[in-house]
């Protein structure tokens, strides 16, 4: 019988910490094991279990693009025990990492299509893995539009990405905030409303959305109004997880385990869920 | 293949089994039945079933997974290797033996949980036919035969003289070839079957299975049946097939242990996340428990995650009776 302990994390060193907003940080981490650094592969949309030893494990997506190798990035909003402990850490500190787990965005299906990304707040984290992935393989896709919203300009995450995307002539970036300030040059309004104003065409397009549950709910309605069919709409779902391996029994939606069958689902699949418990 | 043994020889055999590994037998401790290491205690003249299911010896409530220790400039991590010592459990009831096999696909698969699988691998199961139907139980409705079980290595039926044994696996056969048992025949086996007190089946499992999907959306039904639930979680802790767990850390400043412990879908914070909780309402949690066992588990593993042992019925502090809910769904 194989002796591998599936709950044992790999040790990773925090090599960089970026303060995104007042309560959100992005961590750049690197495997201590050099062989793993070379051999670790994942796909956009997958997640990991990150641990602060002594405080526990928590689930976050890998927010860096698989095309940008060398280290992993993940972003954490300070809300609970593990996330607060993560926020206390410094560059050079060690954390545990298990993964990659779960499914991923079906990039093969997105090839040759217009891509519409709709993100809200920290929900940009899984999308940014995918966005930077398609930016690095730009020729495979047609028009790319990114709509990103946050409560206030200070709550926008990944400002360095936003800046890079805004300078990229092959991308259209629209940012919006619920409440602007005197320096704000983007749009003001909730993401689903701005989305309707943008009037993106569903023709040969896919929409990929992630954000707070309430934003996702209204965004899905807006996309429906715009003529996007359920199989053109993709999202990644958040559920409480402990093992990430389909065993601990809490992330299920009906018979599906978000950790194994997800976290990436098409709206088409979601509409067939027996349960609305997500 | 059948064998028989008288009571005196049976006691000698149990002691001889200790040469094979740790032997566990039903034992009364603190007025509760448990499977305890065979030391000086006698084989019980009468016992129904243990309060805590045998799953506890395979999937314990506290299982250390790994430990770590900070050293100057580095950190050492140590993965706990599951124990490999052979053990034998004698006296398992058919419901509990079934539960051990039901849990196997959960812990096997692409990510194999060696802690559970190794425990299963290192344990010889010697089941025992029931002499009574336990309070609250509905094993026969759940297609568990109190008089027979294929989920063990050896299965015993008690007779006035001793036991008749049915050999189920090769490793079970090895244990009987030791001079304690005499050969027996099919007729001995059949004669040792005990008449179980009859009662009409409460429900037909096939009909319950067929109706569960349509019942899922009936919010009022779930609100009604879960109204008196206290969210105490005793049904999940005593359930032989409940396997939901939490992973926690225990630490001192320089070292610590990561362990897993039972968790319960009855607890409001089981699915609580930063922003929302998809099962914040009690009726959703109770619906989850019933649906997981009788519907979702079946969809994933083609088996129902309930053996009808009746512990959840018998030990619920508010007499919430799963049998009534299944009968209503029927």
- For residue A135, give how far its alpha carbon lies from the nearest alpha carbon of chain B (Å): 31
User: Interface pTM (ipTM) of the complex?
Assistant: 0.91
For A61-120, what is each residue's pLDDT tens digit?
999 999 999 999 999 999 989 999 999 999 999 999 999 999 999 999 999 999 999 999
Residues of A in contact with B256 (CB under 8 A): 53-54
Q: For tokens 């290491």, name the residue.
A: B37
Provide the number of structural domains found in chain B.
1
Residue ranges with strand state E in chain B: 2-6, 22-29, 32-37, 62-71, 74-79, 87-92, 123-128, 154-158, 162-167, 182-184, 245-251, 255-262
A79 and A148 belong to one structural domain: no
pLDDT at A213 (0 to 100): 85
Taking the Cβ of residue A254 and every Cβ of chain B, the question of whether any pair is shorter than 8 Å is answered with: yes
* Portion of chain A with pLDDT greater than 90, in percent: 93
Residue B70 or residue A245, greater confidence: A245
Do residues A95 and A151 share a domain? no
Report the SS3 class of residue A251.
coil
On whether both A139 and A189 belong to a single domain, the answer is: yes
Confidence band of A1 (pLDDT split at 50, 70, 90): low
Q: Are B207 and B330 in contact (CB under 8 A)?
A: yes
- Same domain for A119 and A72: no
Q: Give the residue-averaged pLDDT of A224-253.
A: 94
**Please, is A58 exposed, middle or buried when counting C-beta atoms within 10 Å of its C-beta (0-12, 13-18, 19+)?**
buried
Q: What is the enclosing helix (H) or strand (E) of B326?
A: helix B322-329
Phi, psi values for residue B51, rounded to 5°:
-65, -50
Residue B72's pLDDT is 79
Cβ <8 Å between B107 and A247? yes
Contacts of B117 in chain A (CB under 8 A): 1
Whether residue A32 lies within 8 A of chain B, CB to CB, comes out as no
The answer to whether the Cβ–Cβ distance between A246 and B263 falls below 8 Å is no
Indicate the pLDDT class of residue B7, thresholds 50, 70 and 90. very high
Residues in A closer than 8 angstroms to B105, CB to CB, are: none
End residue of a domain, out of A77, A101, A125:
A101
A255 neighbourhood in chain B, CB within 8 Å: 295-296, 299-300
In this model, does residue B258 exceed pLDDT 60? yes
Residue A135 is part of which domain span?
107-236
The pLDDT assigned to A261 comes to: 95
Residue A197 main-chain phi, psi, to 5 deg:
-65, -35
Asked whether the beta carbons of residue A274 and residue B213 sit closer than 8 angstroms, the reply is: yes
Query: Is A243 a domain residue?
Result: no
Please check whether residues A90 and A199 belong to one and the same domain: no
Query: B111, A80: Cβ pair inside 8 Å?
Result: no
Task: Using the structure block, give the residue that is written with the tokens 């050099």.
Answer: A34
Average pLDDT over residues A24-36: 95
Say whether A277 and B278 touch across the interface (CB within 8 A). yes
Q: How confident is the model at residue B276 (pLDDT cuts 50, 70, 90)?
A: confident
Q: Is A164 on the interface with B (CB under 8 A)?
A: no
Which tokens sit at A89? 């850490």
Give the list of residues 6+ apart from residue B326 with CB closer than 8 angstroms, or none: B138, B141, B202, B203, B208, B290, B294
Contact B275 A213 (CB under 8 A): yes
Is residue B91 scored above 60 in pLDDT? Answer: yes
Task: Tell which phi-psi region holds residue B326, choosing left (phi > 0), alpha (psi between -120 and 50) or beta.
Answer: alpha
* Predicted pLDDT at A278: 80
Q: Report chain A residues whose CB lies below 8 A from the CB of B249.
A: 51, 53-56
Could you tell me the pLDDT band of residue A198, with boundaries at 50, 70 and 90?
A: very high
Q: Looking at the complex, does the CB of residue A252 fall below 8 Å from at least one CB of chain B? A: yes
pLDDT at residue B75 in the model: 86
Listed residues A69, A101, A133: the one ending a domain: A101
Q: Which of B102, B247, B248 to mutate to test the interface with A (most CBs of A within 10 A)?
A: B247
Question: To the nearest whole number, what is the mean pLDDT of chain A?
Answer: 94
CATH classification of the domain holding A36: 2.40.30.10
Q: Are strands B87-92 and B22-29 parallel, antiparallel or unpaired?
A: parallel
Of the candidates B113, B90, B83, the residue with the CA atom closest to the CA atom of residue B17: B90
Exposure string over A258-268, b if 16+ CB within 10 A, otherwise e? bbbbbbbbbbe
Distance (Å) from the alpha carbon of B289 to chain A's nearest alpha carbon: 10
Residue B150: phi, psi to the nearest 5? Answer: -100, 5
Residue A2 has pLDDT above 70, yes or no: no
Q: Does A54 touch chain B (CB under 8 A)?
A: yes
B200: confidence class by pLDDT, cuts 50, 70, 90: confident
Residues 6 or more apart whose Cβ sits within 8 Å of residue A148: A117, A118, A119, A120, A124, A156, A162, A173, A174, A175, A176
Q: Is A70 among the domain residues?
A: yes
- CB-based contact A50:A100 (threshold 8 Å): no
Residue B35's domain comprises: 2-329
A209, A200 in Cβ contact below 8 A? no
Closest to A80 (Cβ–Cβ): which among B80, B265, B274?
A: B274
**Partner residue opposite B75 with nearest CB, options A94, A243, A245:** A94
Q: Which of A217, A250, A259 is the best mutation test for B, with the most CBs of B within 10 A?
A: A250
**Least CB-CB distance to B79: which of A8, A79, A242?**
A8
pLDDT classification of A274: cutoffs 50, 70, 90:
confident
Quick one: A91 exposed, middle or buried, by C-beta within 10 A (0-12, 13-18, 19+)?
A: exposed
Whether B270 and A240 lie within 8 Å, measured CB to CB: yes
pLDDT tens digits, B141-181: 999 999 999 999 999 999 999 999 999 999 999 898 778 99
Q: Which of A1, A11, A213 sits opposite B117 (nearest CB)?
A: A1
pLDDT tens across B115-151, in order? Answer: 999 999 999 999 999 988 999 999 999 999 999 999 9
Between chain A and chain B, the number of residue pairs with CB atoms below 8 A apart is 121
For residue B85, pLDDT over 70 is answered with yes
- List the single best residue of B108, B250, B278, B286 to mutate versus A (max A Cβ within 10 A): B278
Per the structure, the count of domains in chain A is 2
Of A50, A76, A101, which residue is a domain's last?
A: A101
Q: Report the sign of the C-alpha dihedral through residues B318, B323, B326, B330, in that order.
A: negative
**Which pLDDT does position A111 carry in this prediction?**
96
CATH number for A180 = 3.40.50.80
Q: Are residues A91 and A129 in the same domain?
A: no
- For the entire predicted model, the pTM comes to 0.92
């Amino acid at each position: 019988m194989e002796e591998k302990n599936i709950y044992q994390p790999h040790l990773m060193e925090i090599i960089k910490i970026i303060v995104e907003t007042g309560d959100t940080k992005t961590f750049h981490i690197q495997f201590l094991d050099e062989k793993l650094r070379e051999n670790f592969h994942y796909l956009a949309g997958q997640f990991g279990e990150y641990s602060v030893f002594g405080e526990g494990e928590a689930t976050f997506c890998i927010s860096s693009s698989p095309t940008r190798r060398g280290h992993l990035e993940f972003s954490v909003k300070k809300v609970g025990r593990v996330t607060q402990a993560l926020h206390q850490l410094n560059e050079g500190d060690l954390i545990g990492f298990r993964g990659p787990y779960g499914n991923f965005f079906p990039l093969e299906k997105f090839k040759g299509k217009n891509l519409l990304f709709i993100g809200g707040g920290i929900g940009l984290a899984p999308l940014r893995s995918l966005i930077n992935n398609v930016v690095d393989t730009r020729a495979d896709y047609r028009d790319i539009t990114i709509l990103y919203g946050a409560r206030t300009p200070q709550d926008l995450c990944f400002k360095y990405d936003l800046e890079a995307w805004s300078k990229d002539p092959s991308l259209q970036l629209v940012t919006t905030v619920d409440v602007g300030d005197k320096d704000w040059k983007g749009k003001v309004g909730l993401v689903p409303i701005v989305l309707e104003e943008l009037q993106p065409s569903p023709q040969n397009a896919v929409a990929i959305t992630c954000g707070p549950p309430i934003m996702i709910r209204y965004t899905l309605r807006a996309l429906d109004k715009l003529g996007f069919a359920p199989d053109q709409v993709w999202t990644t779902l958040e559920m409480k997880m402990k093992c990430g391996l389909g065993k601990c029994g809490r992330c299920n939606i009906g018979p599906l385990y978000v950790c194994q069958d997800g976290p990436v689902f098409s709206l088409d699949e979601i509409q067939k869920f027996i349960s609305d418990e997500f | 293949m059948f064998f028989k043994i008288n009571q005196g020889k049976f006691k000698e055999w149990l002691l001889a089994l200790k040469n094979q590994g740790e032997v566990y037998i039903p034992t009364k401790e603190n007025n509760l039945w448990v499977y305890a290491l065979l030391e000086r205690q006698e084989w019980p003249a009468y016992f129904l079933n243990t309060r805590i299911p045998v799953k506890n010896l395979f999937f314990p409530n506290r299982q250390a997974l790994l430990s770590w220790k900070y050293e100057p400039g580095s950190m050492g991590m140590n993965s706990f290797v599951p124990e490999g010592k052979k053990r034998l459990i004698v006296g398992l009831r058919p419901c509990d033996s079934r539960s051990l096999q039901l849990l196997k696909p959960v812990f096997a698969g692409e990510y194999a949980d060696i802690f559970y699988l190794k425990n299963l691998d290192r344990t010889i199961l010697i089941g025992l036919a029931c002499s009574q139907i336990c309070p609250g139980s509905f094993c026969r409705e759940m297609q568990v035969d109190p008089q027979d079980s294929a989920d063990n290595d050896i299965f015993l039926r008690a007779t006035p003289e001793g036991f008749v044994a049915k050999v189920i696996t090769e490793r079970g056969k090895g244990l009987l070839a030791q001079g304690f048992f005499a050969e027996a025949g099919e007729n001995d086996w059949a004669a040792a079957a005990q008449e179980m007190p009859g009662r009409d089946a409460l429900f037909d499992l096939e009909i319950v299975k067929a109706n569960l999907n349509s019942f899922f959306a009936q919010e009022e039904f779930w609100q009604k049946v879960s109204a008196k639930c206290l969210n105490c979680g005793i049904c999940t802790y005593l359930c032989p097939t409940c396997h939901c767990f939490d992973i926690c850390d225990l630490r001192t400043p320089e070292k610590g242990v990561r362990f897993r412990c039972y968790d319960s879908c009855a607890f409001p914070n089981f699915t609580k996340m930063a922003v929302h909780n998809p099962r914040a309402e009690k009726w959703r949690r109770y619906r989850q428990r019933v649906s997981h066992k009788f519907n979702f588990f079946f969809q994933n593993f083609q088996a129902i995650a309930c053996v009808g042992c009746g512990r959840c019925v018998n030990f619920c502090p508010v007499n919430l009776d799963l049998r009534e809910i299944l009968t209503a769904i029927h």
